[in-house]
Amino acid sequence: MQRHFRWHDYLAINIYYLGLATLSNTMAPLVIPLLVEQFVGEAQKASYYGTMRLWALMLALLAQAFWGILSDRNASRWGRRRPFILGGTLADLVFIAAIGFSAGLNGMMGFWFLFAMYLLLQVASNAAQAAQQGLIPDLVPENQRGRFSAIKAVFEVPLPVIIVSFTVGRLIGAGNMWGGILAMSAVLVVSMLIALFVREERLQETVAPLDWQPFARLVAMTALFASIILGLGEAIKLGGALLIGVKDVTTLFLAFGGAGFVAMAIAVALGVWVSVRLSIGAAARANPAFTWWVVNRLAYLVSVVNLSTFTVYFLQGRLGLVREQAAGPAANLLLVLGIFILIFALLAGWLADRFGHKRIVALAGIVAAFGVAIAIATPDLTVISIGGAFIGAATGMFYTANWALGTSLVPKAEAGRYLGISNLAGAGAGAVGAYIGGPIADFFTVNVPSVPGLGYVLLFAIYGVMFLFSVLALARVK
C-alpha cells in the first residue's frame, strides 16, 4: 500500500539514530577509554577496558532483544515505540550524568562505579534503540523502505561522526569532558524530541501469547559465546605470564602476534559455529555457506570495530600524547573513516552489481589490511590518516556488499531468523577484539617500555591479519 509521506516524516522517523550514534561515538572511543585510564593507570588500561567492553556488549545484545519483544507487544495509546524511546532516553541521561560525575573519583572504586553505570547505560539505550528499529517496519510500506533506509544511513554514520569530530572531540581534547558530554546529550535529547512527533497509532490487533523461547535461545547463545571469549582471553593472560622475563623484543612480538591472531580466529570461528547451531540447528548443515558468511562478517568487524575502539590509546602510545590530548586527533581520524565509509558504501552498490558481491567483499578485506599496514608504518598523524582513509573505503564497500551477499544466502521465508544472527556478529566483534587484545597491549606497556606504543602497533597488526582471515573465510562461501 502506498502512503504519502512529507519531508518531515523522513526526518522524524530516522533522526533518533543520530542521537544513538552520537552517544556511541562519544562514549566508546573517547569518554570511557580516558576514564578507564584515569582509574586503573597506564599499565592496565587496555585489559580493563576490554573487560568492560565484553560485558557491556553482551548485555547490550540481550537488552535489545528483550526490549524489542516488549515494545512489539506494547498497546499504549501513545503508540508501540515512542514510550520506549522517551523512557530509554530519560534513563540514558541519568546514567550519562553518573558517568560524568565518575570523573571526580579515583582508583578501583571509580572504575567499578563507571563499570556499573556503563552497563546500565547499555540497558537504557537499547530500550530506546530496540523501539526505534521498529519504526520503519511499523510505518513504512515495503516499496518505500529503501529511501527511508538511505536517510537512516546518513543519520547513523556521517552526521554523528562529523558532530563528534567538530564539537565533542574538540571539547574533550581541550580537557573539557563535561562540555563534550553535555554537547552529546543535547544531540540525544533534541533527536528524541523530534522523534516523538512520529505519527504512531495504538496497537489494535490482539497480541499473541508471549513466546520466550527465541529469547532463551539467545541467552544460551550469548552465554556460550561469552564463555569462549573469556577462556581464550585467560589463555592469552597465562601466556603473557609465561613470557615475563624474555628480553628479546622480536621474540615477544612474534609470539604474542601469533597467539593473539590464533585466539581471535578461534573465537570467531568457534563462536559463530556454536551460535549458528543453537539458532538454526540442523539447517546449518544444509547451508554451510551461511555459516562461513557469518565468520567472514564477524572477522572483519572484529578488526574495524576495535581499530576505532583503541584509537585513543594507539595515538597516545604512537605519538606520545597524554590523556585528553589524543581525543581531538582521534575524533578527526574517525571523521576521515566515516567520510570514506559513506562515499564507498554508495559506490559499492554499483561495483557489486557489476563485479559480484563476493569479489567486492574480498577486495574490502585486502584493502583494509593494506590500510592498517600504512597506519602502523610510522608515527606520523598524516600517514595514520591516510591508512584510515583506506580502511574507511574498504569498510564502506564491505557494509554494502557483505550484507547483499548474506541476503542471497538465506531462505526467503526465514530471512529474519537467519539474518538476526548478524546482531551477534556486531556485538561479538567488540567483545572478541577488546577482551583478547587488551592484555596484549598492556603486556608491552609494562614489559617493553623502551618502545612506546609497541603493544598497540602489534594489536593493530593483528587486526590487519584478521581482515585477511575474513577473506580466507569468504573462500568457503559458495
- With cut-offs at 50, 70 and 90, classify the pLDDT of residue 69: confident
Q: What percent of the chain has pLDDT over 90?
A: 49
**In 10 A of CB 205, how many CB atoms?**
6
Residue 336 grid coordinates: 576521515
Q: In CATH, what number does 213-478 get?
A: 1.20.1250.20
Task: State the average pLDDT over residues 261-274.
Answer: 92
- CA dihedral of residues 317, 322, 324, 325 (deg, nearest 10): -90
pLDDT in tens, 287-316: 788 889 889 999 999 999 999 889 999 999
Instruction: Give yes or no for residue 206 having a pLDDT over 90.
Output: no
List all residues 6 or more positions away from 129 whose beta carbon is below 8 Å from its beta carbon: 20, 64, 88
Average the pLDDT over 350-377 and give the result.
90
| 1-199 homologous superfamily | MFS general substrate transporter like domains (1.20.1250.20)
Mention every residue, 6+ apart, whose C-beta is less than 8 A from residue 250.
none
H-helix or E-strand spanning residue 32: helix 32-40
At residue 3, the pLDDT reads 63
Can you state the percent helix, strand and coil of the chain, rounding each to 5?
85, 0, 15
567499578: which residue's cell? 112
CATH 1.20.1250.20 intervals, the chain: 1-199, 213-478
Share of the chain above pLDDT 70, in %: 93
Q: How confident is the model at residue 74 (pLDDT cuts 50, 70, 90)?
A: confident
d(CA 435, CA 268): 13
d(CA 184, CA 293) in angstroms, rounded, equals: 35
Lowest mean pLDDT among 113-117, 280-284, 380-384: 280-284
Q: Which of 21, 102, 26, 118 is nearest to 330 (CA)?
A: 26
**Mean pLDDT of all residues in 13-38:** 92
- Give the count of alpha carbons within 13 A of 271, CB side only: 34
Whether 468 has a pLDDT exceeding 90, the answer reads yes
pLDDT at 327 over 90: no
- The mean pLDDT of 170-197, rounded to a whole number, is 93
Instruction: Dump pLDDT digits (tens) for 393-448.
Output: 999 888 888 877 877 776 665 555 666 666 666 778 888 999 999 999 999 998 88
Predicted pLDDT at 196: 93
Least confident range of 46-50, 223-227, 342-346: 342-346
Q: Which amino acid is at 335?
A: L
Residue 319 pLDDT greater than 70, yes or no: yes
Of 59-63, 66-70, 308-312, 386-390, the one with minimum mean pLDDT is: 66-70
Instruction: Choose the most confident range, by mean pLDDT, from 64-68, 203-207, 433-437.
Output: 433-437
**pTM for the predicted model, two decimal places:** 0.86
Is the separation of the CB atoms in 38 and 313 below 8 Å?
no
